[in-house]
Amino acid sequence: MVLHTASPMPLSIARPLPLLLTVILMSTPPAATIARAGSHDGLAVSVTNGSEPVLCAEKDNISIEFNSTEVRGFRIEAAHPAYITSIQRDSFEADWTDCDMSGDPVHHSGVAVTTRKTIYEEPDIWLVGWTMPTFWRPSTATVRIGDRVEKGLHMVQVWVIRPMGGEEVLVFYPQDGYWRMRPRAPAGLAPTAFGSSLLIGPIEVDGRPLVRIKEIAFEPKARTFTLHYELGGSATLRMAHLDEHRHMLEATFDKPITGRPFASLRSMYVTEFNNDVSRIAVRETGAKGWRESPILDFKSATASAIWMGRTAISRHNTSSPDIVLNGFAGAPRP
């Protein structure tokens, strides 16, 4: 996917969103978030598919929604696709074939050119904010790091240190609530691609699904984001684990999100050889095994773990990660 903007951008931004947060913390997960480390035990949630076929590879036509009246926490894991070691040519280029974005809304930000600035920096992690001349949503959300408050940012990248340079491992979009994540790149494949997006929080639809955020605050020492939503309520996203195999975030809500999805995966599928996600597998309550199907054939499930990814090499964002949601949990026990 590419950025939700009508303005030209530098290649490093317009590419398959190679941007995400990073951290190398291995602390004990909070009980409210994780049912049991190393397992897929947990609450079962409703999983529904709102996807539709398209011809444009830069449109998020895949929409997998997650609903529950009980969930207070869960895990999100990004892992390299199974074929990562067999990739001979990685693809990052956008594919605008059969795409018409002329109907997208346009909000002017007041800057004439795309601007970039570092908003937090320490030796092993730093955050970079971007403001574009136009974006599909108005700029109402703020980003706070300690006493520093940034307004009007359309995109924030999280970088971590790597030998001879840095690596983006997470990106988020304060104005529409989209997140992308990826593991550290394996040896010889730096950088890998970003692919599917995640919405975390009370999801609304205004032309396309989004989460309206009032403020995102980042606590560097805890590697934790606190999100305050315009619809009320809050959540934390903790960077819990990052290595060359997977990247894990732990999400915790202050209260369950009812009456609307609490999370959604947004991605694209045109063909089996041109997609960011092509298959889904669910661990359903009482089942003796996982149920797997092509992404467009899937209807719904009640499941405690959900994998969304690829088993065949795609020409679009070839190295972008698979995504797993699991560890769904309710309120912590007193």
In a structure prediction context, what are the per-residue pLDDT tens digits for the chain, which is 334 residues long? 444 443 334 333 433 333 333 332 333 333 333 334 455 667 999 999 999 999 998 889 999 999 999 999 999 999 999 999 888 888 877 887 888 888 888 999 999 999 999 999 999 999 999 999 999 999 999 999 999 999 999 999 999 998 878 999 999 999 999 999 999 998 888 789 999 999 999 999 999 999 999 999 999 999 999 999 999 999 999 999 999 999 999 999 999 999 999 999 999 999 999 999 999 999 998 899 999 999 999 999 999 999 999 999 999 999 999 999 999 999 876 6
Distance CA 87, CA 98 (A): 27
Q: Both ends of the chain: CA-CA distance in Å?
A: 43
Give the three-state DSSP class for 14. Answer: helix
For 136, the token pair is 């599909």
For residue 209, the cross-strand partners are 205
- Stated as kind and residue range, the H or E segment containing 119 is strand 115-122
3-state secondary structure of 12: helix
**CA distance linking residue 182 with residue 156, whole number of Å:** 15
CA distance 162 to 168: 10
Give the position of tokens 């990562």.
84
Question: Which among 45, 66, 34 is positioned nearest to 249, based on CA atoms?
Answer: 34
Structural domains in the chain plus CATH codes: 11-98+107-329 (2.70.98)
Q: Structure pTM?
A: 0.87
